[in-house]
């Protein structure tokens, strides 16, 4: 037998509510992380203005408690001895009526509540460990952003930097020494001025070239998946990097550089020549993005239905891009066609480079894994391991 003594100094009792609340928030975050693949691909998020509140259904957890028999009857846990493993004891809410479908159930369901989080909070979870792989320091052209930081106080300086609080304090201190602790009779010796230093942060240049197939073979599903991926890619780049240029290219048999709004909204038709996008990307690199000064990341999404005679040219141009870029990502969208391999993907299998990364998407829940495939922590490590083996 033992006794427990509670004292007023047991502060752990006062923290119980806060501890339970923190644990609850952690459980909610874990539940959201487990469902990121479905949340990320929601159409209401992709087509939003990026400022909405996201509601995620979370199954409620009841606290443990003892449940007593309300009738206070004696109970035993014995059967009649004739049951076998797999026997159905009872079917709840099922059964057929004459001329009718399944009967309505009479058992309680599972309680859910909606956890609310902002788009910024959701983005933090999605981008938690994503980054641009193989990012290099480009020595010749670094971008500088200045941040002014006040570091010291001096007795002289421009009046625009006058520290009023410290000036008043010095005046009162000086008057107090004379037995009159008040503000008044301001003199030059009382003045105090702020001084500052400039923090210079250098970031390497990086450009991401987003290429999308908008030909007639790209149906509603294919275009939605492409735009969903690029929506999160653009948000990721602008969240984590201050100085990343993004170029948008849409193509069918011809490629055009388009605005961001056109890239996400315009529809096209016609045939497909992916080489036109690769050639335009190479032209833009030659004109505006010298590989000596820029980290270059081209990405292309298509359904793989390319003009057959164009595939070899695509491979040659992709080889040229790989010589100049840090990573080249190709995504192919095949709704319900996992076993099917397009002629373009088959051609790309001849590319032997650790910087060439491919992904296949057959369902909208695979958009988030595609992001991690191109920008996840294993990408840089994987390319480094493959490069080391080649050496």
Over residues 193-225, the pLDDT tens digits come to 887 766 555 556 899 999 999 998 898 899 999
Cα–Cα distance, 355 to 367 (Å, whole number): 20
Structural tokens at position 31? 């539940």
Q: Are residues 257 and 381 in the same domain?
A: yes
Would you say 274 and 321 are in contact if contact means Cβ atoms under 8 Å apart? no
Separation in Å, CA 45 to CA 61, 123, 173: 27, 11, 59
Pairing of strands 112-118, 142-154: unpaired
Alpha helices per DSSP H over the chain: 16-34, 36-40, 43-46, 119-126, 164-177, 220-240, 260-265, 275-288, 311-324, 343-348, 367-375, 377-390
Structural domain contains residue 55: yes
Structural domain contains residue 364: yes
Cα–Cα distance, 227 to 221 (Å, whole number): 10
Structural domains of the chain, count? 3
Residue 388 binned pLDDT confidence (cut-offs 50, 70, 90): very low
Expressed as residue numbers, the domain containing 22 is 18-62+113-126
Q: Are residues 370 and 381 in the same domain?
A: yes
Structural domain contains residue 134: no
Q: Are residues 220 and 174 in the same domain?
A: no
DSSP summary character for residue 102: B
Q: Are residues 232 and 149 in the same domain?
A: no
Residue 327 binned pLDDT confidence (cut-offs 50, 70, 90): very high
pTM score > 0.75 for this model?
no
Nearest Cα to Cα of residue 233 among 69, 373, 354, 97: 373
Cα–Cα distance, 192 to 22 (Å, whole number): 45
The CATH number that applies at residue 384 is 3.40.50.410
Strand blocks (E) in 103-225: 112-118, 142-154, 193-204, 206-213
Structural domain contains residue 153: yes
Residue 104 binned pLDDT confidence (cut-offs 50, 70, 90): low
Would you say 299 and 233 are in contact if contact means Cβ atoms under 8 Å apart? yes
First to last CA, the chain: 71
Residue 108: the pLDDT is 59
Residue 300: the pLDDT is 96
200, β-bridge pairs? 146
Q: Are residues 119 and 28 in the same domain?
A: yes
Q: Are residues 255 and 359 in the same domain?
A: yes
Cα–Cα distance, 49 to 367 (Å, whole number): 19
- pLDDT tens by residue, 122-172: 778 888 888 888 888 765 444 445 556 666 788 888 877 888 888 888 888
Structural domain contains residue 88: no
Where is the domain boundary, 126, 156, 173?
126
Structural domain contains residue 78: no
Q: Are residues 158 and 248 in the same domain?
A: no
Nearest Cα to Cα of residue 217 among 315, 349, 307: 307
Q: Are residues 352 and 229 in the same domain?
A: yes
Would you say 342 and 95 are in contact if contact means Cβ atoms under 8 Å apart? no
Nearest Cα to Cα of residue 142 among 214, 203, 218: 203
Cα–Cα distance, 344 to 307 (Å, whole number): 9
Residue 389 binned pLDDT confidence (cut-offs 50, 70, 90): very low
Residue 29 binned pLDDT confidence (cut-offs 50, 70, 90): confident
Residue 38 binned pLDDT confidence (cut-offs 50, 70, 90): confident
Residue 317: the pLDDT is 96
Where is the domain boundary, 83, 100, 126?
126
Where is the domain boundary, 171, 186, 202?
202
Q: Are residues 349 and 220 in the same domain?
A: yes
Q: Which residues contact 186 (CB under 8 A, 6 or more apart)?
A: 167, 171
pLDDT > 90: what percent of the chain?
Answer: 31
Q: Are residues 193 and 230 in the same domain?
A: no
Structural domain contains residue 236: yes
Report how many helices (DSSP H) and strands (DSSP E) the chain contains, helices first.
Answer: 12, 10
Q: Are residues 171 and 228 in the same domain?
A: no
Q: Are residues 186 and 226 in the same domain?
A: no
Structural domain contains residue 75: no
């Amino acid at each position: 037998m033992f006794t427990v003594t509670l004292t007023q100094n047991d502060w752990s009792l006062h923290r119980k509510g806060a501890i339970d609340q923190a644990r609850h928030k952690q459980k909610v975050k874990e539940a959201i992380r487990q469902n990121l693949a479905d949340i990320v691909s929601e159409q209401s998020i992709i087509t939003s203005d990026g400022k909405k509140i996201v509601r995620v259904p979370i199954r409620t957890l009841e606290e443990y408690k003892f449940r007593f028999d309300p009738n206070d009857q004696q109970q035993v846990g014995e059967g009649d001895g004739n049951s076998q493993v797999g026997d159905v004891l009872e079917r709840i809410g099922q059964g057929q009526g004459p001329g009718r479908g399944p009967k309505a159930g009479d058992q309680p369901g599972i309680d859910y509540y909606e956890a609310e989080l902002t788009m910024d909070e959701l983005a933090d979870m999605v981008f938690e460990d994503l980054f641009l792989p193989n990012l290099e320091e480009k020595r010749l052209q670094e971008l500088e952003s200045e941040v002014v930081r006040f570091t010291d106080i001096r007795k002289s300086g421009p009046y625009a930097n006058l520290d009023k609080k410290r000036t008043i304090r010095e005046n009162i201190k000086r008057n107090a020494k004379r037995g009159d602790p008040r503000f008044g009779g301001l003199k030059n010796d009382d003045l105090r001025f702020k001084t500052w230093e400039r923090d210079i942060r250098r970031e390497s240049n990086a450009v991401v070239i987003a290429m999308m197939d908008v030909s007639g073979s790209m149906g509603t599903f294919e275009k939605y998946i492409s735009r969903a991926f690029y929506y999160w890619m653009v948000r990721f780049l602008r969240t984590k990097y201050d100085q990343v240029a993004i170029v948008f290219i849409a193509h069918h048999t011809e490629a055009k550089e388009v605005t961001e709004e056109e890239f996400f909204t315009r529809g096209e038709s016609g045939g497909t020549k992916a080489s036109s996008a690769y050639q335009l990307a190479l032209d833009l690199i030659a004109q505006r993005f010298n590989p000596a000064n820029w980290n270059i990341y081209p990405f292309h999404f298509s359904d793989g239905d390319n003009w057959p005679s164009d595939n070899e040219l695509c491979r040659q141009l992709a080889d040229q891009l790989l010589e100049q870029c840090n990573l080249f990502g190709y995504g192919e969208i095949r709704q319900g066609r996992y076993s099917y391999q397009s002629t373009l993907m088959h051609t790309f299998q001849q590319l032997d480079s650790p910087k060439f990364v491919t992904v296949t998407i057959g369902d909208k829940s695979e958009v988030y894994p595609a992001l991690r495939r191109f920008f996840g922590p294993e990408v840089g490590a994987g390319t480094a391991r493959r490069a080391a083996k080649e050496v």
